Structure 1
Amino acid sequence: MRDDPESGMKWEGHRESDRVEDLRGRPSGAGRRGLGLGGIVLALVAAWLFGINPMTVLSALDDGSGAPVQVDPGSAGDDPARDPATRFVRVVLADTEDVWQTLFKQRQQPYTPPRLRLFRGQTETACGTGDSAMGPFYCPGDQHIYLDLDFFDTLSKQLGAPGEFAAAYVVAHEVAHHLQQQLGISAKVQQARSRLSEVAGNQLSVRLELQADCLAGVWTHHSQKGKQWLERSDVEAALNAASRIGDDVLQKAANGQVVPESFTHGSAAQRQRWFSVGMQQGRIEACDTFAAAQP
C-alpha cells in the first residue's frame, strides 16, 4: 500500500495483528453501485453528523434499478489476506495493540484490543447492517471495527486526504472509540445525551469524537517513539485527513451550508488541534476534551 509517492511510512516488516477477520471472500449478498463523491458525502454526513441511519440515505440515493453489483471475492488477488492494503491494516492494528497494552498496564487497567473486520459492500454487525459507503466504524455491541479497504481510495481521491498515515489515522481513531468503550466514557456520554436537547447532545458527541482524535494522536506519539517509522509528510497527511472529515468540510461539500449546531464530530480546525495535542503530549490525560472550556 504505497500509492502516494510522498508517503514515507515505513511499515513493512513489522508485526501483523492476528485480530483481523477477512469477510471479503464470504457471500454477503450484493454490494452497492458506486455513489460518487456526492452520495458518499451525504451518507457520511448522515452517519457522522446528524445521527441518521445511513442506510436510509443510501436507499434514497440508489438508482432504483434493483440490479445489484455482485461482490467479487477475487478482486483483491489470489490471496487477499496478503495484499499490501490488508498487511498494512494488520501492521497498524498490531501497533495500536502494543501501544495501548503498554499504556493501560502503566495505569494498572486491563485492556482487550478490538477485532477488525474487513468487508465489501455490506455486512451484518451487532449494530445493524453496515455499508461500505458509511466509511469505517466501530460497533460497541460486538467490539469490532468494520472497514472496507476501498474507503482508503475514497479518502485519497475523493475526500482529498492521500497518504498511508492518513489511512493509519482513520484506523487509530476507530481504535480510540474502543478505548472509550472500555473506559466507560462512551456509556456515560450516551446516558447524558438521552437527557439533553439535540443541540446539547451534539455538543457532547463533538467532545467524544475530538477525544478519539486526541487518543489517535497519543498513539502516534508512542508509535513514532518506538518505531521511528514516520516522516514529516506522514504527520501532515494525518492532519490533512482530520481536516477533510471535519463537520464543516463535509457539510459544505454535501449542501453548501455549514450548521455548527448540528456538528457531532467537530470542525476541521478542532479535529486537527486535538490530534496535535495528543501527538505532542502523548498522555491519555491530555485528551480530556470534556473538561476543556472550548472543544
Structure 2
Amino acid sequence: MRLDDLDPSENVRDLGSGGRGGGGGFPLLGLLPLLFSGRRMGCGTIGLLVVVGLVYVMMSGGGGGLLGGGGGSLAPTQQGASTAGGTGAKVCNTAERLFSCRVLASTEQVWGKLFAASGQRYQPPTLNFYQGGTQSGCGAATSAAGPFYCPPDHGVFLDTSFFDELQNRFGAKGDFAEAYVIAHEVGHHIQTLTGTSQRVQQAQQRAGRVQGNQLSVRLELQADCYAGVWAKQSGRLEPGDVEEGMTAARAIGDDTLQRQAQGTVVPDSFTHGSSDERMRWLRRGLETGDPAQCDTFSGSID
C-alpha cells in the first residue's frame, strides 16, 4: 500500500506494557479468564482465534462455543484503559507503529468522507498500542488475544507483535495483510457508530448458542467487507495487495483454524466465518467500495 505520504493519525495512545502474557510467559493462561468469563468476545479478536484453537484441543470440547456465542462486544467494566506512554503521533515511534498510524489516518479520511456524504459526522476510534497485556473498558486482555475493538472505549487495541504472528504462523505476508487487520477493527467501530453491534448483542441475548454464533459470523463478515470498502476507497492499493488480503482472510477462517488445531471442523461453533466466507466478503468490499453492499444480515452470506 502507498501510505508514505500520509501524516500519522493523532488519535493514538501508548498504553505501555501490562505485564501479561509477554516475554516468554504463558499468554494462553492469561486469556483463560476472558474465555470463561461469560462475556462476549466477538468484536475484532482476529488473533484470538489462534488461542481458541489451542483451547479446543486442551479442553477436548470439539469447538463447543468457548466464546459464549461470540459476536457481540465485551461487557463494559469499571476500569478503562490508562495512558502510560503518551498520546498523539509521537507514539508512532517504530516502523510497525508508524505504518499502523498511517493506516488509521487513511481510514479516518475514507470513513469521514463516507459519513459526510450521508450528512453525518464521523467520530474516529482511538488506536491503543500496548505490549504483552492491557486493561480496557472491556476488561483485561493479553497480546495472545490479538488486535481487538472495545466499544466502551471506542478503541482499537493492538500489540504490533501480532504482525509477526500473522506473517510467520499464518503465512499472511505483506503490508496489506497488516492493514486489513486494522481496517477490520475499524469496521467494528463503524458497527458501533451505526448501532449494528448493539442490536446484534441484544439479539444474541435472546438467542441460543448456535443462533448467537451465526449472528457473530454475520457481524465479523460485515467488518471484513468494511475493511475492503476502506481499501477500495483509499485509492492506495498496489499490485499484489488484494492477493495479500485474500491470503490473510483465508488463514484466519474458522474452518481453517479448527482443522489445524483439532483436525475436524464444527460449523455450529463458527464465530467469525469460514475462510471462503471471509474472502468473499472482503472481496465484495474491495470490488464495490460501497458500504451498502456489506449487508450481511439480509439473506444468505454464501
Aligned partner of 1:206 in structure 2 is: 217
What amino acid does structure 2 have at the position aligned with 1:51? L
Aligned partner of 2:97 in structure 1 is: 86
- Asked whether the 8 Å contact 1:41–1:253 carries over to 2, the reply is no
Distance 2:227 2:280 in 1: 12
Distance 1:172 1:197 in 2: 30
Task: Give the direction of change, closer, same or farther, for the CA distance of 1:207–1:245 in structure 2 (3 Å limit).
Answer: same
Aligned partner of 1:20 in structure 2 is: 12
- Asked whether the 8 Å contact 1:119–1:146 carries over to 2, the reply is yes
Aligned partner of 2:45 in structure 1 is: none
Whether 1:273 aligns to 2:253 is: no
Distance 2:19 2:143 in 1: 13
Whether 1:29 aligns to 2:10 is: no
Moved over 6 A (4+): 46-49
What amino acid does structure 2 have at the position aligned with 1:84? A
Task: Give the direction of change, closer, same or farther, for the CA distance of 1:209–1:30 in structure 2 (3 Å limit).
Answer: closer
Residue-by-residue CA offset, 1:171-190 (whole Å, 9 max, x unaligned): 00000000000000001001
Aligned partner of 1:194 in structure 2 is: 205
Aligned partner of 1:161 in structure 2 is: 172
What amino acid does structure 2 have at the position aligned with 1:270? E
Distance 1:240 1:95 in 2: 22
Instruction: Point out where structure 2 has 5 or more consecutive residues left out of the alignment.
Output: 32-47, 57-62, 71-84
TM-score by length of 2: 0.79
How far 1:254 sits from its partner (Å)?
1.6
Task: Give the direction of change, closer, same or farther, for the CA distance of 1:188–1:292 in structure 2 (3 Å limit).
Answer: same
Instruction: Report the 3-state secondary structure (helix = DSSP H, G, I; strand = E; otherwise coil) of the residue aligned with 1:15.
Output: coil
What amino acid does structure 2 have at the position aligned with 1:13? D
What amino acid does structure 1 have at the position aligned with 2:51? A
Distance 1:289 1:255 in 2: 28
How far 1:30 sits from its partner (Å)?
4.7
Whether 1:141 aligns to 2:152 is: yes
- Asked whether the 8 Å contact 1:50–1:264 carries over to 2, the reply is no
- Asked whether the 8 Å contact 1:44–1:133 carries over to 2, the reply is no
Aligned partner of 2:39 in structure 1 is: none
- Asked whether the 8 Å contact 1:218–1:279 carries over to 2, the reply is yes
Aligned to 1:252, which of 259, 263, 288?
259
Task: Give the direction of change, closer, same or farther, for the CA distance of 1:35–1:278 in structure 2 (3 Å limit).
Answer: same
How far 1:42 sits from its partner (Å)?
4.7
Task: Give the direction of change, closer, same or farther, for the CA distance of 1:154–1:34 in structure 2 (3 Å limit).
Answer: farther
Percent identity between the two aligned chains: 46
Aligned to 2:230, which of 196, 219, 224?
219
How far 1:53 sits from its partner (Å)?
11
Residue-by-residue CA offset, 1:81-139 (whole Å, 9 max, x unaligned): 32211110110000000000000010112220000100001110010101100000000
- Asked whether the 8 Å contact 1:248–1:268 carries over to 2, the reply is yes
Aligned partner of 2:190 in structure 1 is: 179
Write out aligned runs for 1:103-122 (5 A): 103-122=114-133
Instruction: Point out where structure 1 has 5 or more consecutive residues left out of the alignment.
Output: 1-8, 55-72, 74-78
How far 1:252 sits from its partner (Å)?
1.3
